[in-house]
Chains A and B, each alone.
Chain A
Amino acid sequence: MSGKLLSQLGKLWLALILFFLYAPIIVMAVMSFNESQYYQLPFEFSMRWYEKLAANAEIIDAASRSVMIAVVTTIIATLLGTAASVALFRFDFPGKRFLQVMLFPPIAIPWLITGTAMLIFFFGVGLGRGTPSVIIGHVALALPYVIVVVSARLATFDVTLEEAARSMGANGWTVTTRVTLPWISSGIIAGALFAFAVSFDQFVVSYFLSEPGDSTLPVLIYTSIRKGFTPEINAISTIIIVVSMAVMLFAARFSNFGGER
């Protein structure tokens, strides 16, 4: 086969992937502006579902809870994860390899299983269900992602920069804040985005750990779909997609996700 043909097949493949990735999203976004509740064509532009959404206290409530949980999770997971990455990078201690290896299974274990285990655990320790349990669960899920991303950035860090700073009289705190953190800041931003996404998208663990009536947005969407789908869901989903794409593009503008600038 000629290289030209291969390259054209490759382009076709890429086009198909993009089509299957974005077509459903575009259909959903378009339908959120359609007057008909039952996806009837012809398309008739309307803001009806957005107006209904604005009046739907349940969805607004769940959405703001989801954002709150995601923000708290992001802050905690990013702080802990960055600190852990720096410690794993800088120090040698017994069990370090074991600890590093144990970071990966939580990414691979199905959330269904993690969620069940967490539910049993939280009842076992007397915490039960509720927003604090959800946040702890989300932090536990997000932490490995932050550590993996920040560690990948740290691996490109030249340790002699820290040595140079120390030779000029800088103590550990100054070295970390003035030399190490600026270098890994793009990794930290990428890690924080991952943490936010893991928490905000999280359904299984949230479903197990949240109390009825205190649902997060994914849990609420799931239960609403079971009751009967309304284009309000399209509307909120469209808003979420626009906001998260904006955040991604904004972040990509300032870092290229842990790689070399």
Chain B
Amino acid sequence: MAEVSVQNVTKKFGSLKALDNVTMDFPDGGFFALLGPSGSGKTTLLRTIAGFIFTDGGTIRIGDQSVEHVPVEKRDIGMMFQNYALFPNMSVADNVGFGLRVRKVGAAEEKRRVGEALDLVQLGQHGDRKPHQLSGGQRQRVALARAMVTNPKVLLLDEPLSALDKALRIDMQVELKRIQREIGITTIFVTHDQEEALTLSDKIGILRDGRMVQAGPPRDVYNNPHDIFTAEFLGEANILSGKGDAPSALQSPGADIRLPSNAGTNPVLAVRPENMTITSAEPDEDGLSKMPAALVRRIFSGAMATCVLESNGTVFKVIARDQDIPDLPEGGQVWLSWDANKTITIPSNVS
């Protein structure tokens, strides 16, 4: 187990900069997410750390070793692939034991460690099966056991849960986190699912167009996004002002919006949908920002409801407990309010 460090890494494919001066630290034992839309370079970064891709510039360290010129097979990594890449001609136990046989650990040692790894992923009884006899979730566990059995320095997961259906995915998130905590292995995973990134990781790196836009603990990144892209990509955001030519909600007639102290002139301001409240009458508590708005649509989804509102040409989204939303017809006039402290100032207006 080891820390991983990526410094100023650049990779070009022809004229396309797949990675543009990317820097991120992955401290020992942590669980890290690389998040971004497709084409953002997140998978390229993972494969560069793995060693399938060599960098054009910059340094990558795994533990105390510089690995830019070390091929995959010598980097001592464990990797889990999106399609699991289980060897179809081998049994589950032979799949898991592959890395151990390559390392020539001996039959008895192999059997013991394969058994331990399969027990860890709760598949102790399935060693004799072939991959095609397993369910998707079981295959995923085999792939995980196979990636961990050699005690690699770092575990790399490429979209680990994307092939599973939603219920199974949530089970596996819990399971993955438990196993990672139990082993304490530095783990880096790629995902395009922001919820998965927020749920699992100690630190998120957000990539866009080959650049690391922002890296930090999930709550930090969520509460203090550095730009509009991050604000809208990680969770949802109602941008109040400063987004290009979009009308500014600050000018809505009747709006009373308190600017944060760090707003400055021409600020980019945003509010998360779950921090807004809808009331039928104008609220009069202190410390609230508020504005009149029209309720355009109300979408019921069980415990929660999503409302779409409009005020002076700006569209807002509000997520609240269904019972907390006044029972008004669509098109009715309401008040939108939020704790003024919940207004986020976004430092960069690059979108």
Contacts and interface: CB of A to CB of B under 8 A. Distances in A.
Interface of A: 158, 160-161, 163-171, 174, 178-179, 182-183
Contacts of B156: 167
A170 B98 contact: yes
B52 A168 contact: no
Contacts of A178: 98
B63 interface: no
Contacts of A179: 87
B146 interface: yes
A171 B73 contact: yes
Contacts of A164: 79, 81, 85-87, 146
A164 B71 CA distance: 13
B160 to A, nearest CB: 14
A183 B85 CA distance: 13
A185 B156 CA distance: 31
B102 A169 contact: yes
A167 B78 contact: yes
A168 B98 contact: yes
Contact of B98 (A160, A165, A171): A165
A169 B85 contact: no
Contacts of B88: 183
Most buried by B among A158, A164, A168, A170: A168
Which of B71, B72, B86 is most buried by chain A, counting CB atoms within 10 A of its CB? B72
A160 B88 CA distance: 12
Between B73, B81, B83, B89, the greatest number of chain A beta carbons within 10 A of the residue's beta carbon is seen for B73
Interface residues of B, number: 25
A183 B89 contact: yes
Given A160-B83, A168-B102, A169-B103, 15 more contacts: A158-B83, A163-B72, A163-B79, A163-B81, A164-B87, A164-B146, A166-B72, A166-B73, A167-B50, A167-B78, A168-B98, A168-B150, A170-B98, A170-B99, A183-B89
Interface in B124-152: 146-147, 150
B76 interface: yes
Contact of A167 (B79, B83, B86, B103): B79
B77 interface: yes
Contact of B146 (A158, A168, A171, A183): A168
- Give the 8 A-B CB pairs with smallest separation, nearest first: A168-B99, A164-B85, A167-B79, A160-B85, A166-B72, A169-B102, A182-B89, A170-B102
Interface of B: 50, 52, 71-74, 76-79, 81, 83, 85-89, 98-99, 102-103, 146-147, 150, 156
A169 B150 contact: yes
A166 B102 CA distance: 10
A179 B85 CA distance: 11
A161 B150 CA distance: 17
- Which of A169, A174, A178, A179 neighbours the largest number of chain B CB atoms within 10 Å of its CB? A169
Nearest to B77: A167
Contacts of B146: 164, 168
A179 B99 CA distance: 13
Contacts of A168: 73, 78, 98-99, 102, 146, 150
21 contacts: A158-B83, A161-B87, A163-B81, A164-B81, A164-B85, A164-B146, A165-B98, A166-B52, A166-B73, A167-B72, A167-B73, A168-B73, A168-B150, A169-B99, A169-B103, A170-B73, A170-B99, A170-B102, A171-B73, A178-B98, A183-B89
A165 B73 CA distance: 8
A30 B71 CA distance: 64
Nearest to A172: B73
Contacts of A167: 50, 72-73, 77-79, 147, 156
